[in-house]
Structure 1
């Protein structure tokens, strides 16, 4: 029973549960946006009455295909994907680039085979070419 309690109390499990609940609420919000704003905008642009995409169907050999409902869900998916990309992915990418910008390089490319090798390497591990190693520059020290 202790293992199960530890499993439930792990931080990432709680974060995942919160993310699922928020995602479900956000999905409902986007569904309402499509039904209450986007669909009427399409109706206003086409000059017709408000289309109910969910009612658009076609029948083949007695099978009913509800392509209108699919259009509603596809619009919702595209809006959710765009919002997630612009409000979550892009800011996180910029934030991570700020942290990694000042990171010191640990690898360089071999001039012969273009493989990534350690900065201090004197010979390439891939093509065995001899490399010139430049002395590290220390701030405040001057060479004589």
Structure 2
């Protein structure tokens, strides 16, 4: 399967006085991309995950390269691809572009844990299979 894809509009709330995206706002957009991937791509929305299943997926590691500025009114195309699936973690690459120009590349590690205990927990088989559908071709457990 291809990467998960979605669009986000650059709004006034995202911008600094120069009408460019203020870099911390990109992290909110990255988080929205992850949240929408879980909701739409994996059919496991954050309400179900957090409130019913007692799970969470905090970011354990994140690195972002900013390639070009985004401006008020831009429509950013976001893609998320799984690079590695571990026992309780996964590595993703998230790219934002506008009209074919890459604006940022994010590499992040997410870890599933049980909220009530704070301990990591292995991916459920069904969710793991859904995650693998977004995995880069040719990768395997490490």
TM-score (norm 2): 0.23
Higher relative contact order (CA 8 A, sep 6+): 2
TM-score (norm 1): 0.22
In our comparison, the structure showing a higher alpha carbon Rg is: 1
Whose strand fraction is larger, Structure 1's or Structure 2's?
2
